[in-house]
Chain A
Amino acid sequence: MKTLHNGMGVALDQIPDMNDATFLQTILDLTDHGWRVSSYFGAMTDGGLRLYALLSSKAEGILTVLTTRVGDPHFPSLANLCPQVHLFEREIAEQFGVAFDDHPWMKPVRFQNELPSCFPPLRERGTVGVMDYFRIEGEEVHEVAVGPVHAGIIEPGHFRFQCYGEQVFHLEISLGFQHRGIEAALLGGPHKNTFVRMETTAGDTTIGHGQAYAMAIEALTGTRASARAEVIRGIALELERLANHTGDLGAIAGDVGYLPTASFCGRIRGDFLNMSALLCGSRFGRGLITPGGIRFDLNATLIGALRQRLAAAREDLSNAVELLWNTPSVMGRLENTGALSEKDARSIGLVGPAARACGINYDVRRDLPFGIYRLAQIPVVTAGTGDVHARTMVRWLEAEKSMDFIEEQIGQLPGGAICTAGGELAPNHLAVALTEGWRGEICHVAITDGTGRFARYKITDPSFHNWTGLAFALRGQQISDFPLCNKSFNLSYCGFDL
């Protein structure tokens, strides 16, 4: 078994080639021992199709990559034994024409074209959103269909509820509307437009994905970003988390009709975005990161301004969020709504604040540390109840930790250059890069061909794991609580659809 650390590359011929039985058994053994599947995907390397599984161990702080060659388009499914791979298998089926015959829930993932593969597509691409939905029959059972266009200014997706009166028996989520062909276009890359596409894979997570991409390239070119660059990247990543967590706290308040917090947080979120703009000109951190480091340095004036604005925002945010915990009608709506058990969360591979709200004590920043988090620890926050209240509480506590972190880091910025020049990408290599975006684990895997171009670049956004969690959380809930539950997860459509 080849193990590696986050942000490392390995030559392809160093990865043991397993037969399919060993490959599958190793995945089962490792997941039984607490490893999680961070990514599982197909790639056309060495003339045929291979499957690669990337697993991570929190206990050991390492990753491992397993691979096997797929000679026959019929491949055994693990989804029944290891539910966290269920969507990965569907994705491999859609992207490479591999039939997982005994898969319990084989449906389209994003209604996309097949990537180059040695097997023909299993089905026509079809019309997005048109598929066999799970259906409950019964005189008093009814079906509610919502989307792709929703009521607010949000991204599109389709939701199908099976309801008995107000009660939701089952929710099925069908996505793919936002598909932009990102992975197909990355083949043969990197291209001139690759980095701007990474920044906009999920545009509210520009830093999270930008840093993951930069780490993958740094691993392939043997470059190291300076300590100064890593500190500034860390500050930007925490500002991104703060803006989004603040927005979510406000939106959750808004969805239970508590307007003071909703209004204040709507504005304070902007204060955090403006701090990112102070750093690099863009409220979303566009243009800050580049492979090898960053493109905008901090200076004494900016540090002073940042420190001052952060203190003001902290005061405003504490004041706004405080109101939630002291308002019984708000607590009544948040507690026991949309609860997900720790067992279910683990089995489906949930990540990020949603997982930590269920008691899963996992955070890439601490457990597979990258960048500045290798040197500076950030405390991980968990809750136990897995409901909307827990997801709200975790966001707030994380926001506090992020503010502490930035305050500490801007006070001790190391000197040095902000960008290290890189060279050519190593040929026939595989590099892994995980970051903790504000929604959770982001995983990028780059594989190069003999000329150092991408033979495959796999992106796994945290939403890929977590949409299933939202569907589970809705079971047995009132359908009127859907907006609140949805907001408490606040997942990415485009990050999923790619």
Chain B
Amino acid sequence: MFRAIAARLKQGHRTTRYPAEPVPMPDRFRGYPRLDASACPDGCRVCADVCPVGAITPGTRDSDPNNGPKGLGTRENLSIDLGKCLFCPDCSEACPRGAITYTNDPALAANRREDLIVRPGDERRLAQALEQKMLSLFGRSLKFREVSAAGCNACEADTNVLSTIGWDLGRFGIQFVASPRHADGLWVTGPVSENMKDALLATYEAIPAPKIVVACGACAINGGPFIDSPEVHNGVDRLLPVDLFIPGCPPHPVTILDGLLRLLGKLEGA
């Protein structure tokens, strides 16, 4: 008993103070990307070619009619879909002009799938608070049932870590619960394998309405590394309506916490 108390004193109180203070991120952490298409040479698609998951539309001037939403021949086509992106070192390392750099800003979560597409000079479109009625229901107490639908155990682990003393998610009224009947929302990790689809949908059904859905990680958003495998459904939003998309492979815990706090209206601005 005394040993336990002594240990408690020694280990101290070290819960992160986020959002009151920022979490120091390692220099090499890859967060929100900065794009500079003015550097892109004509016809270059090096970045798009190296990307393992097809997250990049290159900033070429070629006349490919499928090349991006803004029409032909403009460099503004350059875009990265953070819903697909794994935040790997490939594109930034491959680009000969340094047009793609990953900053270490971990705030990435968004409410709408299209808000995850980043173009040069874009305004940030971070997640907004739930609408007033939902906020009054969940703002002070939000319980999630987590389902791993073929997640690799990294998204699961860095979701789990939020409940440890290092992050203490409970202080915001957010908690992960064992039964879907006790939950207000479904928390999905993994690309949704064919073999987990039914169990995922059954869990969603078992949660009483109104309910929300969070897609945590590249897999749950769009299939992640497993995008287009015939065994996966390329994420959850083709099966269920999603309220919060959290990019990353896996998302850093602070990316997750930041998204949740924005969703609950406890954090605003960039």
A binds B: yes
List residues of chain A with CB under 8 Å of any chain B CB: 110-112, 128, 148-149, 151-156, 176-182, 184-185, 192-193, 195-197, 199-204, 206, 247, 260, 263-264, 266-267, 269-270, 274, 277-284, 286-287, 295-296, 316, 319-320, 322-323, 326-327, 492-494, 497
Closest chain-A Cβ to B1's Cβ sits at a distance in Å of: 9
Closest chain-B Cβ to A142's Cβ sits at a distance in Å of: 22
4 interchain residue pairs of minimum CB distance = A203-B152, A266-B164, A281-B28, A181-B231
- For B153, give its contact among A112, A267, A494 (CB under 8 Å): A494
Closest chain-B Cβ to A494's Cβ sits at a distance in Å of: 5
Closest residue of A by beta carbon distance from B50: A192
Q: A149-B203, A494-B150 are in contact. Are A277 and B3 (CB under 8 A)?
A: no
Is B18 interfacial (CB-CB < 8 Å)? Answer: no
Is B132 interfacial (CB-CB < 8 Å)? Answer: no
CB atoms of A260 and B4 under 8 A apart: yes
CB atoms of B7 and A286 under 8 A apart: no
Is B59 interfacial (CB-CB < 8 Å)? Answer: no
Q: A149-B199, A156-B199, A494-B153 are in contact. Are A179 and B231 (CB under 8 A)?
A: yes
Q: Which residues of B contact A316 (CB under 8 A)?
A: 11
CB atoms of A278 and B166 under 8 A apart: no
CB atoms of B26 and A281 under 8 A apart: yes
CB atoms of B229 and A185 under 8 A apart: yes
What's the Cα separation between A270 and B164 when bound, in Å? 10
Which stretch (B32-40, B74-82, B85-93, B111-119) binds chain A?
B85-93
What's the Cα separation between A177 and B153 when bound, in Å? 13
Q: Which residues of A contact B253 (CB under 8 A)?
A: 270
Give 10 pairs: A residue, B residue, CB < 8 Å, sorted on A.
A153-B146, A178-B193, A181-B230, A195-B52, A202-B152, A206-B154, A283-B158, A286-B87, A295-B93, A323-B7
What's the Cα separation between A321 and B152 when bound, in Å? 28
What's the Cα separation between A225 and B7 when bound, in Å? 43
Q: Which residues of B contact A277 (CB under 8 A)?
A: 26, 28-29
What's the Cα separation between A165 and B223 when bound, in Å? 43
Is B10 interfacial (CB-CB < 8 Å)? Answer: yes
Could you list 7 further interchain pairs (A-B, Cβ under 8 angstroms) beyond the known A149-B147, A180-B226, A204-B157? A177-B195, A178-B195, A200-B152, A200-B154, A267-B11, A269-B161, A286-B88
Q: Report the interface size class on chain B.
A: 35 or more
CB atoms of A260 and B8 under 8 A apart: yes
- For A267, give its contact among B26, B160, B166 (CB under 8 Å): B166
Is B139 interfacial (CB-CB < 8 Å)? Answer: no
CB atoms of A177 and B193 under 8 A apart: yes
What's the Cα separation between A323 and B4 when bound, in Å? 7
Closest chain-A Cβ to B101's Cβ sits at a distance in Å of: 13
- For A193, give its contact among B150, B151, B225, B231 (CB under 8 Å): B225
What's the Cα separation between A316 and B147 when bound, in Å? 32
CB atoms of A148 and B152 under 8 A apart: no
- Encoded as 1 (CB less than 8 Å from any A CB) or 0, chain B from 80 to 106 comes to 000000111100010000000000000
What's the Cα separation between A269 and B163 when bound, in Å? 13
List residues of chain B with CB under 8 Å of any chain A CB: 3-4, 7-8, 10-11, 14, 26-30, 50-53, 86-89, 93, 146-161, 164-166, 176, 178, 190-191, 193-196, 199, 203, 224-227, 229-232, 249-250, 252-253
CB atoms of A148 and B196 under 8 A apart: yes
Q: Which residues of B contact A181 (CB under 8 A)?
A: 226, 229-232
Q: Which residues of B contact A280 (CB under 8 A)?
A: 28
CB atoms of A494 and B151 under 8 A apart: yes
Q: Which residues of A contact B194 (CB under 8 A)?
A: 179
- For A281, give its contact among B8, B30, B50, B199 (CB under 8 Å): B30
Q: Which residues of B contact A128 (CB under 8 A)?
A: 195-196
Q: Which residues of A contact B93 (CB under 8 A)?
A: 295
Closest chain-A Cβ to B130's Cβ sits at a distance in Å of: 22
Closest residue of B by beta carbon distance from A181: B231
Closest residue of A by beta carbon distance from B164: A266
CB atoms of A180 and B148 under 8 A apart: no
Q: A179-B195, A180-B226 are in contact. Are A204 and B52 (CB under 8 A)?
A: no
- For A155, give its contact among B27, B153, B158, B224 (CB under 8 Å): B153
Q: Which residues of A contact B252 (CB under 8 A)?
A: 283
Q: Which residues of A contact B190 (CB under 8 A)?
A: 178
Q: Which residues of A contact B86 (CB under 8 A)?
A: 196, 286
What's the Cα separation between A203 and B226 when bound, in Å? 13
CB atoms of A153 and B166 under 8 A apart: no
Q: A204-B157, A280-B28 are in contact. Are A197 and B225 (CB under 8 A)?
A: yes
Closest residue of A by beta carbon distance from B179: A151
CB atoms of B89 and A180 under 8 A apart: no
What's the Cα separation between A279 and B89 when bound, in Å? 13
CB atoms of A180 and B231 under 8 A apart: yes
CB atoms of B52 and A263 under 8 A apart: no
CB atoms of B152 and A201 under 8 A apart: yes
Closest residue of B by beta carbon distance from A244: B157
Closest chain-B Cβ to A56's Cβ sits at a distance in Å of: 26
CB atoms of B166 and A270 under 8 A apart: yes
What's the Cα separation between A193 and B8 when bound, in Å? 46
CB atoms of A180 and B50 under 8 A apart: no
What's the Cα separation between A38 and B176 when bound, in Å? 39
Closest chain-A Cβ to B267's Cβ sits at a distance in Å of: 21
Closest chain-B Cβ to A184's Cβ sits at a distance in Å of: 8
Q: Which residues of A contact B231 (CB under 8 A)?
A: 112, 179-181, 184
CB atoms of A204 and B28 under 8 A apart: no
Closest chain-B Cβ to A338's Cβ sits at a distance in Å of: 22
CB atoms of A296 and B28 under 8 A apart: yes
Closest residue of B by beta carbon distance from A494: B152
What's the Cα separation between A333 and B137 when bound, in Å? 42
Q: A155-B148, A180-B191, A181-B229 are in contact. Are A266 and B26 (CB under 8 A)?
A: no
CB atoms of B7 and A264 under 8 A apart: yes
What's the Cα separation between A390 and B8 when bound, in Å? 26
Q: Which residues of A contact B51 (CB under 8 A)?
A: 192
A110, A196, A206: residue with the most chain B Cβ atoms closer than 10 Å: A196
